[in-house]
Amino acid sequence: MPSAGHTEVRPRGRPRRATAGAEILDATLELLAERGFQAATIEAIAARAGVGRNTIYRRWPSKEELIADALEELIVDVDLRDGDEDDVHALLLDWIRDFARVFGDPLYGRILPAVLGELQSNPAFARLYAERVVQPRYRALVGTLRRAVERGALRRDANVEQIADLLAAPPFVRVLPVGLPPITEHYAEDLLETIWRGIAPEP
């Protein structure tokens, strides 16, 4: 349990096991939000989680590995792999809602600047972040869109990579500190309605 003044990490994603691993991941996210990437050292994370450094190193060989896993846990997963028979509009709406929920979370907003800066300067972390956080979700979304096109649930000429970009990028941009309006309660519905007009199958 974080002490007073620490950021409380709300459970996200898949259910956590009641082990030291969950405490370590939570401590990692807290320190990223409070102090940034460089200050979130293995020593600091171990102290926050109440474990020894060797406990962390037995599971994560580097800080980059640990932080990538912690960020993966923060993202809410929408299972798109088995959605071939489902309503594609409903699937995509759930997908946007979960991304908007994550991007609108104050914890994520505090972590994001540290992550973006490190992606530019740390190739090892950028590779791990791409492999564990971005690419699996992107491939799942593109696969779902491609199968929807094949069965006529989307326009036959739909560009699935561009659709994936349109679904993911707007919520992400809204959380950046560039003065855009915040994500609203009905943002996901409004965004998908705008996109759907261009990708829905012809009558």
Q: What is the mean pLDDT of residues 181-193?
A: 89
Q: What is the pLDDT of residue 146?
A: 94
| Domain 77-199 -> CATH class | mainly alpha
Q: What stretch(es) of the chain map to CATH 1.10.357.10?
A: 77-199
pLDDT tens digits along 175-186: 777 888 888 888
Q: Which token pair is 58? A: 């037995």
The answer to whether residues 56 and 45 touch, using CB atoms and an 8 Å cutoff, is: yes
Computed on alpha carbons and rounded to an integer, the radius of gyration of the chain in Å comes to: 19
Q: What is the mean pLDDT of residues 109-130?
A: 92
Q: What is the pLDDT of residue 19?
A: 67
Portion of the chain with pLDDT greater than 90, in percent: 55
The answer to whether residues 68 and 129 touch, using CB atoms and an 8 Å cutoff, is: yes
The answer to whether residues 84 and 62 touch, using CB atoms and an 8 Å cutoff, is: no
Confidence of residue 66 (pLDDT cuts 50, 70, 90): very high
Confidence of residue 35 (pLDDT cuts 50, 70, 90): very high
List C-alpha distances in Å: 87 to 10, 83, 147: 30, 8, 12
| Domain 20-71 -> CATH class | mainly alpha
Q: What stretch(es) of the chain map to CATH 1.10.10.60?
A: 20-71
